[in-house]
Amino acid sequence: MKVYTAEIELQTRGEVDIIDITQRVQDVVSESGVRNGIAVVFAVGSTCAVTTMEYEPGLKKDIPAALERLFPKGIEYEHHKTWGDYNGHSHVRASFLKADYTIPVVDSKLPLGTWQQLVFIELDTRPRRRRVIVQVMGE
């Protein structure tokens, strides 16, 4: 049984940048030598998230539109009274979407659907340098 840790570094372009990380996570799995097990993908930070989607231009607009409809940027957030950084909506969106994703590794592969990609979502209002930790465990 192995545990293999890697970090993916990302430079994001700010709100709402959606980045396909499938190949980079698959590369970590390949490097790990794990044939069967799991990959835990965890984004460090309280204004970002990890999920899956069909990575195509339409949905890259539909997901930000849904985030704005559900958690509008323009309404009042108490968070602003704490820090004055005006990213209260970014934080709330991140807590709902969550920063973790766990996926099986089967025969050295991530068994994603053909139109299902792993994505990192930048929810903060400005470009950020981000770290995504990938923990691969298995045999």
Q: Does 23 bind its own copies (CB under 8 A)?
A: no
Report if residue 95 touches its own copies, rule: CB under 8 A.
yes
Is 135:3 a contact under the CB 8 Å cutoff?
A: yes
Distance CA 54, CA 34 (A): 26
Cβ closest to its own copies, residue 57 vs residue 74: 57
Exposure of 123 in the CB half-sphere (CA atoms within 13 A) = 32
Q: Does 31 bind its own copies (CB under 8 A)?
A: no
* Contact residue for its own copies among 19, 26, 32, 71 (CB under 8 A): 71
The residues that touch its own copies, with contacts defined as CB under 8 A, are 1, 3, 5, 36-38, 40, 42, 44-46, 51-54, 56-63, 65-66, 69-71, 77-83, 88, 91-92, 94-106, 111-113, 115-116, 133, 135, 137-139
